[in-house]
Amino acid sequence: MKRFLGRIRDSAAIRGSMYFATYWSAMALYMPFMALDLSRRGFSGVEIGTTGSLRALVILLASPLLSRLADRKGCRVRMLSSSALVSAFIIIAMMFPQTFPWLLVAVSLLALANAPIDSLGNAITVRMASRFQADFGMMSFWGALFYAVMNLLAGIAWQELGFRWIYLASAVMFLVVGLVSAKLDEPVGDKPALQPVPALPLAKPASRVRTSTILFLGVWFLFSFSFFVAFNFTAPFLDRLGASEMMIGLVGTTVGVGGMLARGGSRKIMDRFHLEAVLITGLVVSIVPMVVYGFSKNVLVIILVSIIRGAGWALFSVGTISFIDRQASVENAGTLQSVVVMLSTLSSIIASPITGSLFDRNPSMMFVVSTCGVVAALALMLVVRMVQKKETTAPVLQENRQEFPGQFC
């Protein structure tokens, strides 16, 4: 037993994988079912969409502030663990609201507790992967695997027990997340200390934010907006098609399987192809499920195509985390990742009420709007690639003059 625990303690890959496995298990227990739970409790599509916007607004405001504080104080791991533990207690409050104002209060508190988890978790684990020569894609692979399994089990369980239990089960899992995340490694600098395995060299951060980086953040915003418009109301949409709770859970499972396959192979893909090409591929793949969701009324077809949905999202999100980390130093690693989260939540703020209105009127239009958004993101991504080529081939003589003026006298 001691040898087993020692192996976990000494392996960054295992600890990072355990973090993703527990975190995405917690999310799988309630997130895919929350909109359906609220719908069956009598809340309208617009009210559900508004709660999504409020949640996103709180994260938008709190995530960069808390992540920046964690960067400045060097307490990323402690804040990540504390946020998960606080979430465990607050999520139980989601069991009780029966009126819209109280629902808004519960959603706001939960969003505040969740705010820094994504950005800090990504910043810590991607740095651990670089430092210990681990595979970040394989770390997140276990998150996708456990998401798929827990989503299926949850769909079966909630069909028998009712949705009231989803929040209590998630609370228990968030407690586990807090304990696991406390064992992650705090980033210690761009130059790593001596480790038991050779460390990967970290790329030198850019002295200023490049044009291609700013444009890429626009790509991420458009992609996130399209994703939320298409899939915020997946459970109520499937419910209207006559799907059972188990079938709804199975859709989440197939999404997780697709993500698992993409994340597991992401390192090999990125080693073989240019990162920007991988990101473009993720966008192209993501268009397929949005179109099929909009036209198909067959739940089995939707279940099958959800594998592609998970693969496209996983490939693009892993690539995004890697792309942004290349621009970061240890002093702002969490902050830059929080910008990604901030843009994602901003897109959710805009998308949620739009999605709620479309769902109440014509659900198929959700997928038309989302497809247009991904096409726009794809066009902007092609621009990013062209701008990057110009930036990487531009002469660096002026920079060398500034850094080593004596050599050019």
How many structural domains does the chain have? 1
What is the structure's pLDDT at 179? 93
Q: Is position 199 within any domain? A: no
Which tops the pLDDT comparison, 191 or 306? Answer: 306
First to last CA, the chain: 65
- Dihedrals φ, ψ of 369, to 5°? -65, -45
H helices, E strands: number in the chain: 17, 0
Q: For the stretch 286-323, what's the b/e string if a residue is b when 16 or more beta carbons lie within 10 angstroms of its beta carbon?
A: bbbbbbbbbebeebeebbebbbbbbbbbbbbbbbbbbb
> Residue 66 pLDDT > 90, yes or no?
no
What is the structure's pLDDT at 379? 92
Q: Given the structure tokens 């895919």, which residue do they identify?
A: 32
Amino acid at 107: V
Q: Is position 402 within any domain? A: no
Q: Is position 33 within any domain? A: yes
What is the structure's pLDDT at 188? 67
Indicate the range of 102-106, 109-113, 246-250 predicted with least confidence: 246-250
Q: Give percent helix, percent strand, percent coil of the chain, each to the nearest 5.
A: 85, 0, 15
Alpha-carbon torsion angle 299, 21, 59, 321, nearest 10: -90
CATH code for the domain of 331 = 1.20.1250.20
pLDDT band at 209, cuts 50/70/90?
A: low
pLDDT band at 65, cuts 50/70/90?
A: confident
Amino acid at 356: G
Q: Is position 405 within any domain? A: no
What is the structure's pLDDT at 177? 93
| Structural domain span for residue 364 | 10-187+209-389
Q: Is position 198 within any domain? A: no
pLDDT band at 322, cuts 50/70/90?
A: confident
Mean pLDDT value of segment 303-331 = 79
Alpha-carbon torsion angle 155, 158, 164, 167, nearest 10: -40
Q: Is position 260 within any domain? A: yes
> Residue 249 pLDDT > 80, yes or no?
no
pLDDT band at 408, cuts 50/70/90?
A: very low
Distance from C-alpha of 161 to C-alpha of 43, rounded to nearest angstrom:
21
Cα–Cα distances in angstroms (integers) from residue 104 to residues 52, 315, 321, 349, in the given order:
10, 33, 31, 14
127-152 residue pLDDT tens: 888 788 888 878 888 887 888 788 77
Q: Is position 396 within any domain? A: no
For 256-311, the DSSP string reads HHHHHHHHHTHHHHHHHS-HHHHHHHHHHHHHHHHHHHHH---HHHHHHHHHHHHH
Mean pLDDT value of segment 96-119 = 89
Distance of CA 313 to the CA centre of its chain: 9
Q: Is position 169 within any domain? A: yes
